[in-house]
Structures are given as C-alpha cells and as structure tokens.
Chain A
C-alpha cells in the first residue's frame, strides 16, 4: 500500500514540475510556432470526426430519452431547454474530453514514449535543445486551444441531433426547438462548459506528456504507459468535473 501511495505522490510531484516547466517555457523565446501549428492540426483537426459522431449521437439519445421521460408530464415543450443545458453544461465538455483523452492522450504518450525509449528525447537534450519546449509545450498549448473549440462544435452538432430527433419523434418544428434552446442558454452556461474543457485539456496533455517522458522498459513499457494515460486522464476528468462544476456554480451564478 505504501508503495502505491509513494508512486502516486511521485507522479503528482512529476506532474507539478512538468506543469511549472511548461508554463516557464511557453513564455520563453523563441516561440516554436511551426511546432504548435503541427500539433493544432494533429490534436484538433484530426479529432473532428470522432467528436462530431459522438456529439451527434449524444444529442439524438438525450433527446429521445427526454421525450420518453417528459411526455408523461406533458413536458415536450421543454425538450430544447433540457438538451441544450445538459449538452452545453455537461455532456459536451465531458464526453468530448473523454474522447480526446482516448485519442490524443494515448497518441501523445505513445509518441513521446517511443521517443524516450529510443533515446530521441536524450538526443534533443544532447543537441542542446529542450524537450519540454520542443515536445511538451506545443502539445499542451494545442490541446488547450483546440479542446474548447471541439466542445463548441460538439455542442452545436449535439443540439442539431436533438432537433432531428424531436422533429422525427414529435413533429416539433425546428424553429420552435431552436428558440427554446437559445432562450434556455445563458453566457454563464457556455462559459462554464468552455472553462471546464480548458481545464480538462491541461489534465489530458500534462498526464500524457508526463507518462510518455517517464516511460521505462521498451515497447511493453510504452504500451503500459499509454493504457495508464487513458485510464488516469479519464478518471481525473470525471473527478475534477464534479469539483469544477461546484466551483463554477458558486462563482458564475
């Protein structure tokens, strides 16, 4: 048990250092613009299809479930409100982040992990460059920039999915549905979803980079680290989601 605790504290300490170094090197010159653009593409653009599909079907299913549960109370008019609020405040950020933790987090750990075991990370240092600046900073920044944008897209697609379901199941007009959606959402709702997703982005990227850079034990080690990244990033997202939600409800409302 004490071994597990020590490991957990080591990981937390390592993450803390990495976070601090990332902040330090992201403001130091020269700014690696090319590396950032490449990661924006890898992390953001390449995640478009997976997040869109997840968002579309989430919108469809919440809508169908809501129709089912609200119909007995005559609450069909409020389906737009419910779909919009649950998507924008909660499901959009959390589900998108979980998908990104799987796709991007695993990808980062696998890539940096292979670079570590083949001494490419040492080679960066041996050539007088800094691996945090070259590898970690662009990945963390790109995730923090792209994840909120993906969430906005997911929100829109999810709301669209809800609209399709409501129109098909109840024959409700899209015009009415969208008016309910826009009436229900406040700036605070959108802001809270975006703030959440930015925090989740930091969690995903830092955990993934840290695990990648600390890989030991060859190819098997890379595999194990990749799995642990997805597991610990997903759990961290769900746990921190509760606390961020409580905090934002207190701060924004």
Chain B
C-alpha cells in the first residue's frame, strides 16, 4: 500500500432540495487500500460513492481521483475516470435486456478495439475471477441475488480498473452468500491490489475487508481509522454501532 491518496474527498456537500445529505465530507483513500464507509441507512453513503465518478455533482467541495478533480471534468475526462474507477451497484444494476455475456462485455466493446474473440476470452476470465463460470448465455432475471452481485462485479472488473466502488455489496443477501461475497472481495483485493471503497452497514463485512473504516454521521466523517482504533475511541455511538451490527444508526435517526 502506498501513502499516496488515490481518491480524495474535500469538503463535499450535497443537498437534495431542502434535505442536506452531505455537509462537508473529507476523506482520503490511499492507493491499494480498502476503506469501508459505515453509517445508518439514508446517511448518504451511496450518494458519496456516486460523487467519486461524477454520477452526482457536489454543491460544494471537490473530489479528486489521483491528480484530477472530477467535478471540473467534461464528458471525455469523466469517461477516462470511469475506466479507472469502476462501480458495483447495490442490486447489481445489470442491463436486463442483455445476457450476462453482453453485460460483462459492455465496457470492453465501448472502450477497446478488442476483437470478438478477445472480448470473449476476457469475459470468461473475469467470470472465472468472480467464481461464476459458464453463465454467459443466461439473462439477469435468471440469476439469484448473490449471482447478480458477482456478475455485476465481473462487469466492473472487465476493464481492469484501478479502483472499485462497492455500494452495499452484501445487502439483501443471506448470511452465507454475504460471507461468500466478502471473501470474494477480499481475495480480489489481494490478487488485483485494487483500491476499494465499500459502502455498507454490514459490520461483518467491515471486519472482513476493511483496512480502515470511515463512519458517516450527520453528513460528515465522524471517525476515520482502523477497527481497533474505533473500538477504543471515544465515540460511544460508533462503538455501539459496531457491537450491535449496525441497527443503532437507523433507530437513532429523528
């Protein structure tokens, strides 16, 4: 892990109408590191993630990927960022009018000059990486929730991104499937050395994959550090959040 920040949020603010979601988020994610962003439902974790690749634009503040400021980029620049930083959406967001193969091949066909056979090889390769061989011809509706997340991960991996953003990778899965996804994420971290930001309220997930955790509370990062630091920190609410497995943040919301 290098000390250089790969992704950096600086005073990011975002409101939807009257409702201020992010009120000045600061966070640095170093190259090769995995940061798990924790927080209750509706605290703006996914919103923060979407700012990273310009799917949302902040009302104030800046988002940096390496040495580029994302909000200042035009369409072409954003496209370059999105090749470097891939996102895995909450429910997979697979294109349901396309087969698994076409889903995974989408970015390859969009951004590379690969021949169809090269595309086919790469699709087979990433599907094997997420332990889903031989599903190329299935439609997304034929897949279970866990399989969908794996295929979504394969689609994100296709272009060999340097960073991955996971939006609630284990939400809606049974504990065993969730555990399998966490294991997969950890193995990919080790083998591919990608920088990762994982948004979740699943404490087990955080324990398995986090180098550091960031705790989003009231639109700001209330705590950033390792799990051990979090356990010994003075943040009473964060400690309870970690102990109970994530219910507290939700029930304490007004």
- Taking Cβ atoms with an 8 Å cutoff, the residues of A that contact B are 115, 118-120, 122-130
The answer, among A122, A128, A130, for a CB contact under 8 Å with B89, is A122
Is B128 part of the binding interface, using a Cβ–Cβ cutoff of 8 Å? no
Q: Check B50 against A122 for contact (C-beta < 8 Å).
A: yes
Docked Cα-Cα span, A200 to B61, in Å, equals: 43
Q: With A122-B55, A122-B93, A123-B93 in contact, do A129 and B75 touch (Cβ < 8 Å)?
A: no
0/1 interface trace, chain B 180-210, chain A, CB 8 Å (1 if under): 0000000000000000000000000000000
Is B82 part of the binding interface, using a Cβ–Cβ cutoff of 8 Å? yes
Docked Cα-Cα span, A115 to B89, in Å, equals: 13
Distance between A54 CB and nearest chain B CB, rounded to angstroms? 28
Chain B hits for A122, CB < 8 A? 50, 55, 89, 93
Give the contact-size bracket for chain B. 20 to 34
Distance between B249 CB and nearest chain A CB, rounded to angstroms? 23
Chain B hits for A125, CB < 8 A? 53, 55, 82
Q: With A125-B55, A128-B110 in contact, do A119 and B86 touch (Cβ < 8 Å)?
A: no
- Taking Cβ atoms with an 8 Å cutoff, the residues of B that contact A are 50, 53, 55, 75, 78-80, 82-83, 86-87, 89-91, 93-96, 106-107, 110-111, 155
A-B contacts counted at CB < 8 A amount to 49
28 CB-based A-B contacts, threshold 8 Å? A115-B95, A118-B93, A119-B90, A119-B93, A120-B94, A120-B95, A120-B96, A122-B93, A123-B87, A123-B89, A123-B93, A123-B94, A123-B95, A124-B95, A125-B82, A126-B53, A126-B55, A127-B82, A127-B86, A127-B106, A127-B110, A127-B155, A128-B79, A128-B107, A128-B110, A129-B106, A129-B110, A130-B75
Docked Cα-Cα span, A161 to B83, in Å, equals: 57
Distance between A239 CB and nearest chain B CB, rounded to angstroms? 31
Smallest Cβ-Cβ distance to B76: which chain A residue: A128
- A-B complex: 3 closest residue pairs judged by Cβ atoms: A119-B93, A123-B93, A128-B82
Q: Check B87 against A118 for contact (C-beta < 8 Å).
A: no
Docked Cα-Cα span, A147 to B96, in Å, equals: 27
Docked Cα-Cα span, A130 to B75, in Å, equals: 9
Docked Cα-Cα span, A126 to B111, in Å, equals: 13
Chain B hits for A115, CB < 8 A? 95
Chain A hits for B89, CB < 8 A? 119, 122-123, 126
Q: Check A128 against B93 for contact (C-beta < 8 Å).
A: no
From A122, A123, A125, residue with most partner B Cβ within 10 Å: A123
Chain B hits for A129, CB < 8 A? 106-107, 110
Q: Check A128 against B55 for contact (C-beta < 8 Å).
A: no
Chain A hits for B75, CB < 8 A? 130
Docked Cα-Cα span, A122 to B95, in Å, equals: 11
Smallest Cβ-Cβ distance to A30: which chain B residue: B110
Smallest Cβ-Cβ distance to A125: which chain B residue: B55
Smallest Cβ-Cβ distance to B87: which chain A residue: A126
With A119-B89, A125-B53 given, name 12 new contacts (CB 8 A): A115-B95, A118-B91, A118-B93, A118-B96, A120-B96, A122-B50, A123-B89, A123-B93, A126-B87, A128-B78, A128-B80, A130-B75
